[in-house]
Structure 1
Amino acid sequence: MKNFVTVILIVFTISLSAQNYIEHKVKTGETIESIAKKYLVTPFDIFALNPDAKTKFQPNTILIIPNSKIKNEPIEEESRELIGYKKHKVKRRETLYGLSKKYNVSEDDIKKANRFLYSENLKKGDKIRIPKYKTFVSKQTLRNTVRKYTVLPKEGKWRVAYKFGITVAELEDLNPNMKPTLQPGDELNVPNIQDKEEKAIEAEYNYYEVLPKEGFYRLKIKTGLTQEELEDLNPELKDGGLKVGMVLKIPASVDTSENMSNVETTKLETSLKNFETKKIALMMPYRLNRIDTDSVAEAKAMIKKDKLLSIVLDFHIGVRMALDSAKQLGISTDLKVFDTHYQASRTSELLNENDFSDYDAVIGPMEEKSFDRVANALKRDRVPVIAALNKPKEVYGNVFQTIPENKLLQKAMIDFVKADSLKTKVVIIADQAHREVSNMLKKEFPNAAQIYSEKDKKTGKDEYFVYPVRLENMFPKGKTYVFLETNSMPMASSVISMLNGLVVDRKEIVLVTLKINEAFEGKDVDNNNLSNLKFHYPSVNKDFDEEKSNGFVKAYRKEFGVSPSKYVARGFDLTLDILLRLATEDNLYEASNDSIETEYIENKFRYNKSLFGGYTNEAVYIVKFDNLRIVEAN
């Protein structure tokens, strides 16, 4: 019997060899995903030939790896080597662009060879160095060869990854210089599978990347699709199961950011396990080059008159206090502070002069171009870059946008009103510029009454007021919600005053707006009226509760003699959240799935991975005026 089994194994092995398969002996630390990545196949391909690997996967196990998809045609790769410099004296009307074309090098190559050009313009008479390169063309033959693929219209990297049966991370590994947003005609390296094995891309579907620790239950909450529905759309799930990084086909109508349920606040302090020192970079525009640090009086005067510097220093104090709080929990931090000068050129110098590849997170910069350069430069090393006080123009895969989008704030306010079963009526008051917003609200509340500001009969211009008679008989007994949408201070103050006068005889009027602005904070707006109308609005943050014991607030008051500003609180909340998340998992990505919502002094965080980019905070507050205080609404 034993000999018979041996013969069968020999025959099977010969058969596999004839079909061009590979044997792999599992090493300690390897996973199915890492082995699949090594051979440029998918985990599902391995499970198909090794079904026992689902339950019996351990070192020294022999796996059969499919290799029949590979054509093993070498691809040409270009590389270049710096061999010296040519001296050049700048002539009248010469530009960096012209020199780059003349010498066949990039403008950035010239700047790197002449660092003063990052901060100064090219001038006649400048003596500069022009780098000279030698180009090498070599044929690279990988163990499993890749081939070139030209991106088609409407194809993003998720669709390309799905098409070739790999994860987005694997596609990025094959293409280190891949743009965050693919354009038709871009050339990518992809697994060299046969055309007939490419998955079809269908216009009526979207493609979603499975996140760490995301199971069928979380996907049901996020997409509304059951396990059976997902398996019908993605048959490979039935054999290989759900894996991190898989790209799933989902209906185009599914919005993964709209179906989030309420999440209970997570106390990360109770699940700390990673106590390695956290390496954090803080990149802020201190602009110390503009301050005479030898003159205390001049430095103080600069801080008082420079609003940006005041914000940055407040945020910095909050960061330092968060480090102290984390240290008390056993979390050590190696913090490096970098002054970006609020200049993209200075930020580029910092990137060239420092190695950020082993940082756990980079907080900042604030300036848009600077932030974009840092995020783009560090995305290959998957270093998380935190947009702390700004909304980035491009949310790359390694970006954490901490300020929620306006549409999320609006949705939170609308959902809050919808959830109140005691409301009897909804009224929408808007100026002429907010007609589109008013009509959107009308769709959400079909029975709502709409009132617009008056227009000048001759010119048609908005006069920013509403006749009192139009509000008469508009409010029945019970609770009526009034949406007031305007940026006009005169209109806001007059409407608020009129509404306050109508709160009589068991009539309750609750004033709300989708976006707080200066119109509600003008000198003519009486805060007593706002309190009487229980004014509600959505907000990124809330004011800390003066009546509750708060160690952070006490420590700040003891040190500085005043209450902390919202920027101090944000620096504290954001940094402590990052450190606690890093202490609960191996990296920030694994600690930022959408089932984790944290809350601190004035801010809360729940990140959702967007379909075409990085992570966006979706945790918002609804706050209200209550006895002249602004508190969280329940």
Structure 2
Amino acid sequence: MKKLLIVILIALGLNLSAQNYIEHKIKKGETIESIAKKYLVTPFDIFALNPDAKSDFKPNTILIIPNSKIKNEPFNEESKELIGYKTHKVKRKETLYGLSKKYNVSEDEIKKANRFLYSENLKRGDKIRIPKYKTFINKVSLKNTVRKYKVQPKEGKWRIAYKFGITVKELEALNPNMKEVLQPGDELNVPNIEDKDEKVVEDQYNYYEVLPKEGFYRLKVKTGLTQEELEDLNPGLKESGLKEGMVLKIPASAETVSSLKDLERTRLESKIKNFSTKKLALLLPYRLNRIDLDSVEETKSEIKNNRLLSTVLDFHVGVRMALDSAKQLGISTDLKVFDTQYQPSTTNKILSDYDFSDYDAVIGPIEESSFDRVANSLKRDRVPVIAALNKPKEVYTNVFQTIPEDKLLQKAMIEFIKRDSLKSKVIIIADQAHRSTSNMLKKEFPSAVQIYSEINKKTGKDDHFIYPVRLENMFTAGRTIVFLETDSNPMASSVISLLNSNVNEDIEIVLVTLDKNKAFEGKDIDNNNLSNLKFHYPSVHKDFDEYKSNSFVKAYKKEFGVSPSKYVARGFDITLDVLLRLATADNLYKTSDDLIETEYIQNKFRYNKSLFGGYVNEAVYIVKYDNLQIVEAN
């Protein structure tokens, strides 16, 4: 078939040695993808001229590679040449990762210069060679099958890569100066395929890049889609199989929360191996410009009455305590603190005045637009940015969202109730604003009884109560689970009282909610009733037990005379978790998969890489009221 194609080309007066086509002899270990990438064409281009290659792809076979007449603007390409070595004597606590950063070479380059490091660990006193390079900048012009393409509204890297049948990395290789965030009208180099061969990008679908070592099982966990469903959505996937970097079409409604499996706590303290000093930045709104620090009374008053400042200072104390705990484990930290003043303009000035490219992690800011600015700015350098006290509006690839999504909290609560071994009756009580939540619960518990709050006949508005008669004969001997979904404190108070009046020796009522908001707090809510109803809800954190021995609580009470707030505990937990993860690997990304779950004072962390962005914590608690205490439910 190939010979026939060559004959036809010659008959048409075409010369394979001319600029229209190139001959390539397949080498051992090459793949169709690697060859396509080398010549900046797509596998489709190669198969179009070499149909036999689909079934007969082997070394020494000659392929015809298309070479476009199109010439693009030249761009700078950096190359380097080895010019010698520097001798370095390894000091205590030095690591390959630290040395690679210090000398601006890769760990692999150091290993190549010191072969013994492939089988042995770096030791104090070792004399190793550090390669030195000379950098050259060359002008490169693309002469392959590429053309210019204008980015359309709503298009990002994934959608464009999918459209032209290439990986995101291949798109980036075609466009060395491409921006991280594409804007409509941006011009990109793309494969010069026929319009009819472009894949249709549909708004009802999302487009996902396959990660390294990711198989169909992991995708099923992430998306809820089976292998067969993915293959149906992506023609050609069945033949090619999953490959790193390929872009898949998935429904926009695909479930992105992983399964809530139970994991044993990962004790990172026993896995510490990277003792290089960790470089952290803390960006918080102290707003010191508003405080007269020379006036002790004014400062005290500001701390007492300013809720934001009180929260920030508590979090800061937790961070400092975490640094002390890490130091006892041999982890040193270089911490820089910045006052963002809760102003995006101040945050922008900090970013322009300081270089964060070599930081191991940045914690904060907490103001939404400031956080977005910092995360987006540091994305190119892959500096992790920790959303400690806020949910970011966009989870970029370098963002670590420590607060789990509301959907995950709901899912955790529903799965907890489903694991109930008793055949419990389920009742769903909701106000008019929570009808959709009630209907969702009805789908999860088909036999459940739904009860809604009364509507005022005159005004047509929600009266936020139910008549007691509607609960008559609802409760029989045994356990009844009651979901209460409302934002109304009067409704929550009245329903809780009604439920409590129905509890006796034979009747057990367990009160549950998917969203424990302010409706369940305040003077109108009797905590005795909540304890009597064994009130359960999902939570980002749990309360620590003051009666159990806890060095963190003791240390705080010794210094400040009171128990630590949840913000002190959060500052401690997040910072210690970041430091321990950094101490067990080269960077934060390598210790942030969903098989690692850590837990500290009040918080636990299990990060899952989201489909189209960064890392989201998926570790949640189910807590309950028990004898006027809030404890973790088992």
TM-score w.r.t. length of structure 2: 0.75
> How far 1:64 moved relative to its partner?
11
User: Which is worse superposed, 232-241 or 411-420?
Assistant: 232-241
Classify 1:326/1:209 alpha carbon distance in 2 versus 1 (closer, same or farther; 3 Å): farther
**Is residue 74–residue 142 contact of structure 2 (8 Å, CA) maintained in 1?**
no
**Cross-structure match for 2:185:** 186
**Is residue 215–residue 242 contact of structure 2 (8 Å, CA) maintained in 1?**
no
**Cross-structure match for 2:22:** 20
Query: Does 2:611 align with 1:611?
Result: yes
**Cross-structure match for 2:73:** 75
**Is residue 69–residue 193 contact of structure 1 (8 Å, CA) maintained in 2?**
no
In 2, distance between residues paired with 1:473 and 1:423? Answer: 18
1:480-538: CA deviation from partner (whole Å, max 9, x where unpaired): 11111222222212211111111114111000111112221121211111011000111
**Cross-structure match for 2:378:** 378
User: Which is worse superposed, 215-224 or 367-376?
Assistant: 215-224
> How far 1:141 moved relative to its partner?
2.4
**Cross-structure match for 1:134:** none
**Cross-structure match for 1:363:** 363
Task: Within 5 Å, give how 1:33-182 maps onto structure 2.
Answer: 40=40, 68=66, 73-75=71-73, 141-142=141-142, 147-152=147-152, 155-168=155-168, 171=171, 174=175, 178=179, 180=181
**Is residue 148–residue 187 contact of structure 1 (8 Å, CA) maintained in 2?**
no
1:262-307: CA deviation from partner (whole Å, max 9, x where unpaired): 4443222333333322221110001111222233333222211221
Amino acid paired to 2:442 = K
> How far 1:44 moved relative to its partner?
12
In 2, distance between residues paired with 1:36 and 1:555? Answer: 61
Amino acid paired to 2:378 = L
Task: Within 5 Å, give how 1:422-571 maps onto structure 2.
Answer: 422-571=422-571
1:333-376: CA deviation from partner (whole Å, max 9, x where unpaired): 22111110111111111111111122221111111121121122
In 2, distance between residues paired with 1:277 and 1:16? Answer: 57
SS of corresponding position for 2:208: strand
**Cross-structure match for 1:394:** 394
**Cross-structure match for 1:408:** 408
Amino acid paired to 1:503 = V
1:78-117: CA deviation from partner (whole Å, max 9, x where unpaired): 9xxxxxxxxxxxxxxxxxxxxxxxxxxxxxxxxxxxxxxx
User: Which is worse superposed, 531-540 or 208-217?
Assistant: 208-217
**Is residue 426–residue 481 contact of structure 1 (8 Å, CA) maintained in 2?**
yes
**Is residue 272–residue 580 contact of structure 2 (8 Å, CA) maintained in 1?**
yes
In 2, distance between residues paired with 1:398 and 1:374? Answer: 10
In 2, distance between residues paired with 1:144 and 1:276? Answer: 45
SS of corresponding position for 2:439: helix
> How far 1:608 moved relative to its partner?
2.3
Amino acid paired to 1:417 = I
Classify 1:41/1:192 alpha carbon distance in 2 versus 1 (closer, same or farther; 3 Å): closer
**Cross-structure match for 2:4:** none
**Cross-structure match for 1:575:** 575
> How far 1:21 moved relative to its partner?
6.0
**Is residue 212–residue 590 contact of structure 1 (8 Å, CA) maintained in 2?**
no
**Is residue 428–residue 484 contact of structure 2 (8 Å, CA) maintained in 1?**
yes
**Is residue 221–residue 261 contact of structure 1 (8 Å, CA) maintained in 2?**
no
In 2, distance between residues paired with 1:557 and 1:275? Answer: 30
**Is residue 362–residue 386 contact of structure 2 (8 Å, CA) maintained in 1?**
yes
Percent sequence identity over aligned pairs = 70
**Is residue 212–residue 593 contact of structure 1 (8 Å, CA) maintained in 2?**
no
In 2, distance between residues paired with 1:213 and 1:559? Answer: 49
Task: Within 5 Å, give how 1:324-363 maps onto structure 2.
Answer: 324-363=324-363
**Cross-structure match for 1:126:** none
> How far 1:224 moved relative to its partner?
4.9
SS of corresponding position for 1:443: helix
In 2, distance between residues paired with 1:42 and 1:579? Answer: 43
In 1, distance between residues paired with 2:436 and 2:231? Answer: 40
Amino acid paired to 1:542 = K
1:198-225: CA deviation from partner (whole Å, max 9, x where unpaired): 6624647643223355445433433455
User: Which is worse superposed, 450-459 or 314-323?
Assistant: 450-459
> How far 1:155 moved relative to its partner?
4.1
SS of corresponding position for 1:219: helix
SS of corresponding position for 2:588: coil
**Is residue 70–residue 147 contact of structure 2 (8 Å, CA) maintained in 1?**
no
In 2, distance between residues paired with 1:358 and 1:69? Answer: 41
In 1, distance between residues paired with 2:630 and 2:64? Answer: 63
Classify 1:555/1:176 alpha carbon distance in 2 versus 1 (closer, same or farther; 3 Å): farther
In 2, distance between residues paired with 1:411 and 1:160? Answer: 33
SS of corresponding position for 2:631: strand
1:449-491: CA deviation from partner (whole Å, max 9, x where unpaired): 1222223332223322222111110012211111112222222
Structure 1, gaps ≥5 residues long:
1-13, 27-31, 52-61, 79-138
**Is residue 68–residue 143 contact of structure 2 (8 Å, CA) maintained in 1?**
no
What's the C-alpha RMSD, in Å, of the aligned pairs? 3.9
In 2, distance between residues paired with 1:585 and 1:398? Answer: 17
Classify 1:256/1:63 alpha carbon distance in 2 versus 1 (closer, same or farther; 3 Å): farther
In 1, distance between residues paired with 2:62 and 2:539? Answer: 55
Amino acid paired to 1:596 = I
SS of corresponding position for 1:590: helix
In 2, distance between residues paired with 1:43 and 1:588? Answer: 35
Classify 1:307/1:252 alpha carbon distance in 2 versus 1 (closer, same or farther; 3 Å): closer
In 1, distance between residues paired with 2:152 and 2:354? Answer: 37
> How far 1:66 moved relative to its partner?
9.3
Classify 1:600/1:66 alpha carbon distance in 2 versus 1 (closer, same or farther; 3 Å): farther
Amino acid paired to 1:308 = L
In 1, distance between residues paired with 2:197 and 2:374? Answer: 35
**Is residue 479–residue 508 contact of structure 2 (8 Å, CA) maintained in 1?**
yes
> How far 1:260 moved relative to its partner?
5.1
**Is residue 318–residue 572 contact of structure 1 (8 Å, CA) maintained in 2?**
yes
> How far 1:411 moved relative to its partner?
1.8
User: Which is worse superposed, 32-41 or 280-289?
Assistant: 32-41
1:222-266: CA deviation from partner (whole Å, max 9, x where unpaired): 3455668767847578768643x4433446664232545444432
In 2, distance between residues paired with 1:465 and 1:568? Answer: 38
Classify 1:471/1:255 alpha carbon distance in 2 versus 1 (closer, same or farther; 3 Å): same
Classify 1:229/1:514 alpha carbon distance in 2 versus 1 (closer, same or farther; 3 Å): closer
Task: Within 5 Å, give how 1:276-355 maps onto structure 2.
Answer: 276-355=276-355
Query: Does 2:594 align with 1:594?
Result: yes
1:133-176: CA deviation from partner (whole Å, max 9, x where unpaired): xxxxxx97258786432235664421222334544356457375
SS of corresponding position for 1:510: strand
User: Which is worse superposed, 506-515 or 406-415?
Assistant: 406-415
In 2, distance between residues paired with 1:492 and 1:140? Answer: 69
**Is residue 285–residue 339 contact of structure 1 (8 Å, CA) maintained in 2?**
yes
**Is residue 284–residue 338 contact of structure 2 (8 Å, CA) maintained in 1?**
yes
> How far 1:192 moved relative to its partner?
3.9
User: Which is worse superposed, 533-542 or 596-605?
Assistant: 596-605
